[in-house]
Amino acid sequence: MRLAQKIAGGRTDKSIALMVVAPLAMLIESMRLTEILNPQCVKVPLSATDKEQVIYELVDILANTLEIADVTELREVVWRREQTRTTGIGHGIAIPHGKVSGCTQLCMAVGKTGQPIDFGAIDGKPVELIILLVSPIDQTGPHIQVLAQISRMLTDGDFLSALKQAESSRQLYELIAQQEANSPA
């Protein structure tokens, strides 16, 4: 029996969507990136010129802004995850992420490279927009919700193009805030 059927008391009809899928969709829709993205955690352009250094630069931005307890652990966790499987999702985007004990809340940093860099992306193309997502070890739900929200926003081609053309950290943050303001809550 599928998980959705178990949650819906064994039913297989359309009521599953109403009982399980609809509330989940509403939860994902209600997640706002600007609730977890501090404007000081956005950097355009990033100084680093390779994948490892870009990840470390974004980790350092988070650590300096949000007082992450163990920067070395966070670097190791995110880099280890990246070595396992690329987070370069294609279209010039990478979403490195990790969970660490020294993190008390879901947080993120966003950066745009000065020049596209090789990230081993699934489409083989270089990356220029990197979104680092970090969460506490025990917070899987919110972590997944934010990944879903990021993915949903980045499917808008005009929005993605505008992000890639951003010339400053402030402009990049404001584009994200504006996109969320124009999207249904």
Of 155, 160, 85, give the one whose Cα is nearest residue 120: 85
Q: In Å, how far from its chain's centre is CA 156? A: 15
Res 19 pLDDT > 50: no
Q: Is pLDDT of 120 > 90?
A: yes
Residues of the chain with CATH 3.40.930.10: 31-181
Helix (H) or strand (E) run with residue 45 in it:
strand 37-46
Write the DSSP string, 110-154: EEEEEEEE----TTS--EEEEEEEEEETT-HHHHHHHHHHHHHHH
Mean pLDDT across the stretch 68-90? 92
For the cut 90, the answer to whether the pLDDT of residue 177 exceeds it is yes
Give the model's pLDDT for residue 121.
Answer: 96
SS3 content of the chain, % helix, strand, coil (to 5): 50, 20, 30
Q: How far apart are CA 130 and CA 113, in angstroms?
A: 8
- Each residue of 25-43: pLDDT tens digit? 444 446 689 999 999 999 9
Left if phi > 0, otherwise alpha if psi is -120 to 50, otherwise beta: which for 60? alpha
Percent of the chain with pLDDT over 90: 61
Report the topology of domain 31-181.
Mannitol-specific EII; Chain A (3.40.930)
Distances (CA, A) of 127 to 9, 62, 97, 124: 45, 20, 16, 9
- Cis preceding linkage at 116, omega within 30: no
Residues 6+ apart with CB under 8 A from 185: 29, 30, 32
Average pLDDT, integer, range 140-148: 85
Q: Which of 77, 80, 85 is nearest to 122 (CA)?
A: 85
How would DSSP label each residue in 55-78? HHHHHHHHHHHH--S-HHHHHHHH
What confidence category does residue 176 fall into, taking pLDDT thresholds of 50, 70 and 90? Answer: very high
Query: Quick check: 155 and 32 in contact, CB under 8 A?
Result: no
Least-confidence region, from 48-57, 64-73, 93-102, 154-163: 64-73
Q: What pLDDT is attached to residue 185? A: 58
